[in-house]
Every structure is written in structure tokens, then in C-alpha cells.
Amino acid sequence: MSVFDCHVNRSPVTGKIEKIVYQPENLVSADLDKASADNERNSLVIATAGTHIAVVQIAGLVARRIVCFVRNGDP
């Protein structure tokens, strides 16, 4: 996959979006350890089958933008 392609993440489970937390931060190379703490990220909590699943998207130096198409309460 080229760095010029769109990277798409699909939901790992079927459920309802309960919470979205977007945190704009720095942009460092994704191969560095501090990238998971410092880079822009988007966190989702999905309610499904009596449990809650947390999903985190982390941007990198090349893939720098996170576009989230779901909103709180969406199935």
C-alpha cells in the first residue's frame, strides 16, 4: 500500500458508538515508541453484546489526518 492511498479502518465489532474522544497532538514517526502517546489520536467506545470495546486510531508523520464518520449514538 502506498503512502498516497487512503487507509480505511472498519469497526471490529457490531454495536453502538457510546463515546468518541479526539485528541489533536504532535506528529512524530509511527515507528517511534512515543508515537502512541504523542501523536494525534481518535478513541471510540463501542457497546456490544453486554460489553464495551475501546478502539484507538493513531495518526503518524505520513498518515497525518484522522477522519471519523460516526457520531455518538450511531449503530
Contact 55, 46 (CB under 8 A): yes
For the chain, the domain total comes to 1
Show the domain range for 33.
1-75
Contact 71, 20 (CB under 8 A): yes
Model pTM score: 0.77
Which helix (H) or strand (E) segment holds residue 54: the answer is strand 51-58
The mean predicted confidence, pLDDT, of the chain is 84
Q: Write the pLDDT tens digit of every residue in 48-63.
A: 988 999 999 888 776 6
Q: Grid coordinates in use for 44?
A: 471510540
State the amino acid at position 73 in one-letter form: G
d(CA 38, CA 15): 29
Give 24 or 21, the one with higher predicted confidence.
21
Q: Is the pLDDT of residue 43 over 70?
A: yes
Give 26 or 3, the one with higher predicted confidence.
26
Q: Grid coordinates in use for 1?
A: 500500500
